[in-house]
Amino acid sequence: MAVSVTWPIDDDVRVYLRASGLRVGRVLHASVPEPGGEAVDNGAHALRLAQLLGREIRGRTVPERRSVLHLFISAPNIFTFFLGQLSRNFGRVQLYEHDFGGDVGAYRPGLRLPAA
């Protein structure tokens, strides 16, 4: 799943998936209408966006919920914090970090939830 709040990342995620050989069933893209630095108004808005995304994540098919959710996020930390609070209902999650010094599609695996 590619989440674009501060920056559109759908294309970068697809580049990473092709280059890494990571096999996924499908790519879901969640975005605000106009990603950018001012896309989130305040903490309450960040919480509401996280709740809406949480509902979408929980709405995946049963086979998808049984497998790992590969999660790429470009969003303010407060949004990610709130999404993390909701993550107990997401199953296994692999987070990815963008390599800001790298090329397009430069990601690396980060945290894995639940932690082993």
In sequence order, the 6+-apart residues with CB closer than 8 A to the CB of 2 are 9, 10, 12, 13, 27, 28, 29, 30, 72
pTM score: 0.90
Q: Provide block-wise average pLDDT over 10 residues at a time, the chain (116 residues).
A: 96 93 94 96 98 96 94 96 92 90 80 82
* Distances in whole angstroms, Cα of residue 103 to Cα of each of 8, 19, 107: 15, 12, 9
pLDDT of 116: 63
* Residue owning tokens 């209902």: 89
Count of structural domains within the chain? 1
Q: Model confidence over 76-88: pLDDT tens digits?
A: 999 999 999 999 8
Closest by Cα among 54, 41, 67, 64 to 3: 54
pLDDT of 51: 98
Domain that holds residue 17: 2-113
